């Protein structure tokens, strides 16, 4: 399953910038809800473990999911994630690396259509591992931005783009909006220079530009105004203003200019 390899490579790319990271900097706040670098890696490790638990121990996952849902109204995810995962700094990074490398090695051998439980509806393992890559890429952006680094994206970003396409309907439903009958036409340029097209050609409703920009909008790591995407049509405009490719409640994208690489 190629998506497991893509998760491994995405995670390794993030881990590389944390190598020899100074201990005090692990508590630096990012532009995402003031999460620290420790918070980001704890979150990634917690939900990587949860996805793997859903595969190897469905009953254990059901118990964890019940605990999470019971505690969410009391204070969100941060308290339970930090209570279960107490390592910080370099030790945390070592745990995270060991987990995703072991998980990726085993998941490459799975039938992509195998179904697993999740906090919401069950899903295929291909969808599950793609969601883990998306989370790693999106939350990794917080760390790259904090360090003022531009990530060297590859065509594995296609998995995140497809997730954005597949959640066109969800992006509207979670906002309480009626789902349009037809998705706008997408023509996106991949990091390799190839062009990816989704939907039927439509001059009146279309989105064109960089695939990484599109992924940034649907993961809410950038406001549409801070990208070079060319958006035509009312449906395309509304989608890019409210896109949300991740589960959970309604989330608002960052305000223009608030998410960017610092110096």
Domain assignment of residue 21, yes or no? yes
Residues 14 and 139 in one domain: yes
Domain assignment of residue 48, yes or no? yes
pLDDT the model gives residue 232: 98
Residues 52 and 133 in one domain: yes
Residues 187 and 85 in one domain: no
Neighbouring C-alpha atoms within 13 Å toward the C-beta of 145: 23
Residues 7 and 134 in one domain: yes
User: CATH number of the domain that 28 lies in?
Assistant: 1.20.120.450
Note the pLDDT tens digit of each residue in 180-236.
999 999 999 999 999 999 999 999 999 999 999 999 999 999 999 999 999 999 999
Residues 137 and 184 in one domain: no
pLDDT the model gives residue 37: 97
Residues 187 and 114 in one domain: no
Tokens 């692990």 label which residue?
Answer: 26
The CA distance from 259 to 257, in Å, is 6
Note the pLDDT tens digit of each residue in 29-60.
999 999 999 999 999 999 999 999 999 999 99
Residues 99 and 122 in one domain: yes
Residues 20 and 144 in one domain: yes
- Return mean pLDDT, the chain: 95
Residues 143 and 173 in one domain: no
The parent domain of residue 133 ranges over 2-152
* Portion of the chain with pLDDT greater than 70, in percent: 100
pLDDT the model gives residue 263: 64
Note the pLDDT tens digit of each residue in 136-168.
999 999 999 999 999 999 999 999 999 999 999
Domain assignment of residue 29, yes or no? yes
pTM of the model: 0.96
pLDDT the model gives residue 73: 83
pLDDT the model gives residue 142: 97
The arithmetic mean of pLDDT across residues 250-260, rounded, is: 94
Query: Is residue 77 predicted with pLDDT exceeding 90?
Result: no
Tokens of 102: 């072991």
Residues 118 and 182 in one domain: no
């Amino acid at each position: 399953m190629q998506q497991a390899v893509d998760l491994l490579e995405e995670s390794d790319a993030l881990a590389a910038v944390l190598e020899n990271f100074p201990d005090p900097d692990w508590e630096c706040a990012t532009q995402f809800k003031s999460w620290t670098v420790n918070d980001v890696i704890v979150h990634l490790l917690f939900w990587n473990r949860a996805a793997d638990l859903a595969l190897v121990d469905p009953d254990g996952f059901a118990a964890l999911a019940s605990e999470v849902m019971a505690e969410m109204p009391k204070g969100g995810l941060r308290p339970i994630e930090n209570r279960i995962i107490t390592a910080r700094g370099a030790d945390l990074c070592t745990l995270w690396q060991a987990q995703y490398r072991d998980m990726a090695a085993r998941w490459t051998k799975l039938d992509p259509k195998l179904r697993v439980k999740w906090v919401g509806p069950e899903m295929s393992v291909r969808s599950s591992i793609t969601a883990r890559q998306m989370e790693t890429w999106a939350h990794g952006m917080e760390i790259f931005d904090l360090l003022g680094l531009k990530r060297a994206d590859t065509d594995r970003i296609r998995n995140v783009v497809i997730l954005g396409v597949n959640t066109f309907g969800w992006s509207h439903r979670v906002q309480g909006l009626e789902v349009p009958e037809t998705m706008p036409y997408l023509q996106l340029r991949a990091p390799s220079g190839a062009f990816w097209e989704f939907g039927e050609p439509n001059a009146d409703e279309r989105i064109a530009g960089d695939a990484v920009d599109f992924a940034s909008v649907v993961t809410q790591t950038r406001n549409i105004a801070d990208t070079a995407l060319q958006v035509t049509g009312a449906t395309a405009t509304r989608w890019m203003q409210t896109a949300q490719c991740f589960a959970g409640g309604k989330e608002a994208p960052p305000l223009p200019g608030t998410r960017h690489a610092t110096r």
